[in-house]
Structures are given as structure tokens and as C-alpha cells.
């Protein structure tokens, strides 16, 4: 299975001190976001379209939402396939759990990311499943942000007011191969 996005994010999570359960922006984050909004679009595919943003409540895969406790996830999905020891880093505790077709990362006993990969039949809160076409995803979520991939194989939907949270669709041969919901994503450097 393709767990590449979560593996990359895991390494970044270890150095981030962002709380996945926070619902308000810090003054520093608000200032950074203001600078980002006021800059010219100088990146390869421009800035994310605010019309492609989604509400935090839509950041759910197979009934698992960002911020849920491990106990809540177990009530939703049952026992995990694995239960490795927690890892520590950056002052936080991280747990990695898998269920058939799903990989979930908990930060401080709260869901920080959920990844679903082919051939799993899992679905988002809006019933988008693995295998859905590029056009089908856009029909439900809108244009989204294409990311910086030159082959346009990803669509990203940021959470309104939380630029560190997103629903990410990876495509192979024009259909969804991996769906990830995550918070604590690295933010672009506005001073660049």
C-alpha cells in the first residue's frame, strides 16, 4: 500500500509543536497567514483557492475525524490490526495504528491523520471512495488546490481557518489511489 504521504508527514509531525485539537489561530499564525494572503502568487501553481476550502467537520475518513480519541476510533472501527509502542518527539506522543486499508496517527491520544489507500473501500464524509475519478472529486469538493506536483496528480482541500489541515487526494491513472485527512501540515514560508 502507498503510505508515502503519512510517512513524510510523520517525520514533520515530530518537529512540529502544533496541536491538532486547537480551533483558533495563534497571533503568529494569523500574522503569517495575512502575509501569505497579501503576497503575489509566485509559486508554480499559484495559491490555494479559498473556494476550494472545506469545513473541519468534513475532514473524516471511514467515520474517523481529526481530534477523535483512540477509544472513540476503536468504538467506530473495532480493534486495530497492530498496536506498536508509542513514539515521542517534539514534546508529543505519537501512536501509529492500522486497520484494514487505514492507517491512523494519533498525537497525544488524538487523531492527527487518517490515510486510506487502495484497494480499501473506505470513504470520506462526502462518500468519496478510492477509485473515484478526478472529475468526480472536483464535482463534490470543487476545484481544490493542485499542489506543486508537475503531473497534477493531487488535489488538496484546506480547512477554512486552518491552513495546517487538509483533505488530500492522490491520483493514479486519473482515479483516487490514496485519501488522507491530516492536521499539523507544514505551512509555506511567507518570508521566502
pLDDT of residue 161: 81
Query: Distance of CA 38 to CAs 35, 62, 158, Å?
Result: 5, 37, 18
Of 25, 24, 88, 99, nearest to 64 by C-alpha is: 99
CB-CB contact of 122 with 64 (8 Å): no
CB-CB contact of 61 with 73 (8 Å): no
pLDDT of residue 22: 40
Give pLDDT tens digits for 99-152: 988 999 998 889 999 999 988 888 999 999 999 998 999 999 988 887 766 666
pLDDT of residue 2: 42
C-alpha cell at 167: 483533505
The percentage of residues in the chain with a pLDDT greater than 70, rounded to a whole number, is 61
pLDDT of residue 15: 32
pTM for this entry:
0.70
Give pLDDT tens digits for 59-78: 899 999 999 999 999 999 99
Give pLDDT tens digits for 40-61: 343 334 455 555 688 888 889 9
Give pLDDT tens digits for 146-180: 776 666 689 889 888 887 888 999 999 999 999 99
pLDDT of residue 51: 57
Q: How far apart are CA 35 and CA 189, in angstroms?
A: 10
Stated length of the chain: 192
Amino acid at each position: 500500500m502507498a503510505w508515502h504521504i503519512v510517512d513524510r508527514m510523520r517525520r514533520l509531525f515530530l518537529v512540529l509543536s502544533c496541536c491538532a485539537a486547537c480551533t483558533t489561530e495563534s497571533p503568529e499564525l494569523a500574522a503569517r497567514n495575512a502575509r501569505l494572503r497579501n503576497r503575489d502568487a509566485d509559486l508554480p501553481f499559484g495559491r490555494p483557492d479559498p473556494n476550494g476550502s472545506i469545513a473541519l467537520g468534513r475532514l473524516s475518513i471511514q467515520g474517523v475525524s481529526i481530534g477523535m480519541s483512540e477509544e472513540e476510533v476503536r468504538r467506530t472501527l473495532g480493534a486495530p490490526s497492530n498496536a506498536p509502542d508509542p513514539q515521542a518527539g517534539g514534546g508529543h506522543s505519537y501512536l501509529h495504528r492500522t486497520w484494514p486499508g487505514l492507517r491512523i496517527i494519533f498525537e497525544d491520544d488524538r487523531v492527527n491523520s487518517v490515510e486510506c489507500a487502495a484497494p480499501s473501500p473506505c470513504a470520506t464524509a462526502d462518500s468519496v471512495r478510492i477509485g473515484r475519478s478526478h472529475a468526480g472529486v472536483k464535482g463534490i469538493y470543487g476545484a481544490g488546490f493542485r499542489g506543486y506536483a508537475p503531473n497534477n496528480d493531487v488535489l488538496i482541500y484546506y480547512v477554512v481557518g486552518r491552513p495546517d489541515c487538509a483533505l488530500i487526494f492522490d491520483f493514479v491513472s486519473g482515479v483516487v489511489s490514496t485519501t488522507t485527512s491530516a492536521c499539523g501540515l507544514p505551512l509555506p514560508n511567507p518570508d521566502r
